Each structure stands twice: as structure tokens, then as C-alpha cells.
Amino acid sequence: MNKTRYELNKELAQMLKGGVIMDVTTPEQAKIAEEAGACAVMALERIPADIRAAGGVSRMSDPKMIKEIQNAVSIPVMAKCRIGHFVEAQILEAIEIDYIDESEVLSVADDVYHIDKTKFKVPFVCGARDISEALRRISEGAAMIRTKGEPGTGDIVQAVRHIRMINRSILSIASMKEDELFEEAKKLCVPYDLLLYVHNNRKLPVVNFAAGGVATPADAALMMQLGAEGVFVGSGIFKSNDPAKRAKAIVNAVTNYNNSSILAQVSEDLGGAMVGINEQEIQLIMSERGI
């Protein structure tokens, strides 16, 4: 993939800024997401809460199911592959998926290497807990970064922790002198040119979304106010009592994240949120996969 292709992929990801990307498992759910105003959907056989509950090995979804979702909606469709599993990524590219998420939600295929995303035409999304993970994924060709809040829990605490860590690091890097940047690049194990970009621009080179634990309009607005440029919602919508209403409310919350009056209005009468799992109760920490 040449530089022009990568720049185009980054621009494609930028087009999703300010939007909500929703996990869906059926064409019907995809239509609900589209009607609610989602900017894209993530097609997968099981939402993260069900993947966590089922245990075992979790793999790429059936291409037939993904294609059914592609045919059901006009908005972009994403799909997940396992970390390091470049053949799953090749299959997803072959069925003309719009974005590939190399995801810690699925089981890890390669515990040493991530996919070389520069060999693909399709844009990749990757998770990151901190600035070093984010810049390493970008150096591999990721066109979008998202936080790695613990999937399938409905607990926002890790996503908050990750976005704050990244923001804190960006401010620290922006204040460094040039000779300090070389040392910091070695310490973080990231390319100097990416660190220099952060230093000069006070932001990541690609769009940065929030993901993991978003279950309410308030959660979504919180992440936007903390600096996220959009939100992924996994189990929070279709594990709630009224998915269609909650989906619309979360989209409105992301659009109006600084307007507390609108946030109060869209938070009313949504029915029960997903039950969720407290961070302290988690047996399997998915966010630690693929650093």
C-alpha cells in the first residue's frame, strides 16, 4: 500500500468523526442502527457480552452473515478479525468490507505480531490503551484508533482510563524538546516521525474513537467531552430493554455532547440498560490482548 492509499484510508476514517458505530448481529439490528443515525455498523455473530459469556475461542464471523448485513444497509459495514490473523483480514477484504477491526474482542491468533496493515487496501481499526500502543498500531498501518475499554461489561471505567492516559501523554509529548523526543521514541518503542507529529499537532495522526463499556447516553457524552472523536457501542444497545430508543438517544448524545439539557432529555425513559459487569468482577481481561 503506497502513502497515497494510506492517506485516503485515514481520510475515510475521518469521515466517521462525530458519529456512533454500533455492533449488530443481524440485518434487522443493522437497520435499527441505520435508522437511529449510526455512521457505521460492526457486523459480528455475537456481541461482546455474549462472547465473554460463552468463553472458548472466538473467531471471525461467517462471511455469509456479514454479506447479509452489507446488503441490508447503505452505511459503512465493519467486521472484526483476530489479532495477527492476516488470512481472516484477506477474506474480509475479499468480500469488500468497508473497515476491518483487528480486535482484542476475538481470541488472539498471533501473540507476537499484529497484521501488517500496509499490505491491505481496506482501512483498519485497532484498539489502544495508551500512546505507545496507539502509535505502534499506526506504524503498522492502522487508519483509526479506539480505546480498549473492557468489552461486554457495560463498565465505562477502562475507556475513561485509556482516553485520559492518551491525552495526558499527548500533552507531555507536546511539551518536550527535540532531543527528548528521540529518547521518548526509544522508551515507547515507536517511530520518531509519529512522535514528532504528536509533538507538533497535539493529537494522534489518525482519528481516535472511544470503545468499551458505553451503555448510556451519558457514557457516550462523557467520552466525547474527554476528547474522543466518536463512539463505538457494542453490547450497550442490543442488551438493553429498548434498543431502538437507546440507539437514537446515544446518537443524539454524541451529537450534542456539550448540551446538558439535551442530554437530560434523551436520557429519559429509555428502559433498563444492560446489566453489565463491574471491573472488579471481570474474570477475563480482553483489553490486555495485543499490546
Name the pTM for this structure. Answer: 0.91
Per CATH, domain 3-270 is 3.20.20.70? yes
pLDDT score of 53 more than 80: no
Note the pLDDT tens digit of each residue in 24-41.
Answer: 999 999 999 999 999 999
d(CA 244, CA 168): 36
Concerning whether 187 is annotated as a catalytic residue, the answer is no
Ranges of each domain in the chain: 3-270
pLDDT the model gives residue 274: 63
- Residue-averaged pLDDT of the chain: 92
Q: Are 25 and 135 in contact (CB under 8 A)?
A: no
Note the pLDDT tens digit of each residue in 138-165.
Answer: 999 999 999 987 776 778 998 999 999 9
C-alpha cell recorded at residue 16: 466517521
- Strand-by-strand arrangement of the 124-128 sheet: 207-209, 144-147, 124-128, 99-103, 77-82, 40-43, 20-24, 231-233
Catalytic one of 3, 64, 80, 245: 80
Of 202 and 178, the one with more pLDDT:
202
pLDDT score of 289 more than 70: no
Percent of the chain with pLDDT over 90: 79
Q: Are 85 and 115 in contact (CB under 8 A)?
A: yes
pLDDT score of 178 more than 80: yes
